[in-house]
Amino acid sequence: NDWKNAKFEAFGDGNAFSLAHDNGTMYLAVKLKDATPRMNVQTGSNLWKGDAIEFAFSTNETADPKRTSFLLSDYHFGLNLGANPYIWNWSEDTQAKNMDFKISQDGKFVEIAIPMKEYTKSELFISKPLSFEIAFDQSDNGELRLSQERWNSEGSEGFHTNPSLWGKLMFE
């Protein structure tokens, strides 16, 4: 995907993200401002303890935005940014399948391709707001998370279990 003309949403201390779509695939691009963005020695579901990108979204456009627990149509993923990167699907407690990603050599630009047909039987609803949240987990040594910078729920912990903390985005 070409991100040169994309509108990026700021979050945290200098980070930004953008969403795009085509042919049933949602693309997530993330720009990171971190001196050491590739520090993560974690494995499996513990990737949040090192440098990682977490993102969550709902595939149910009619879900109550004030709900405080996940529905089967809600998903939470994380990309381990360490030397052995992978995407974890916390909703199914397994490594995500069929998701492609690219991490720039310096670790400051990430692109993830999410095949929405794997997560919803309906078309990607591009004309309606998408419930979404993104976070950057920061670590200086890859073993312990020092901070988490979030887009919509900057001052509130718990987006990984509470969809009421997610924001709404429209595809452009």
Q: Which residues of the chain fall short of a pLDDT of 50?
A: none
Paired strand residues for 124: none
The pLDDT score that the predictor gives to residue 125 is: 64
Distances (CA, A) of 128 to 41, 124, 146: 38, 9, 35
Burial 76-110 (b: 16+ CB within 10 A, else e): bbbbbbbeebebbbbbeeeebeebebebeeebbeb
**How far apart, in whole angstroms, are the C-alpha atoms of residue 18 and residue 30?**
7
**How far apart, in whole angstroms, are the C-alpha atoms of residue 6 and residue 169?**
14
The pLDDT score that the predictor gives to residue 31 is: 97
| Structure tokens, 55 | 């993102």
The pLDDT score that the predictor gives to residue 90 is: 95
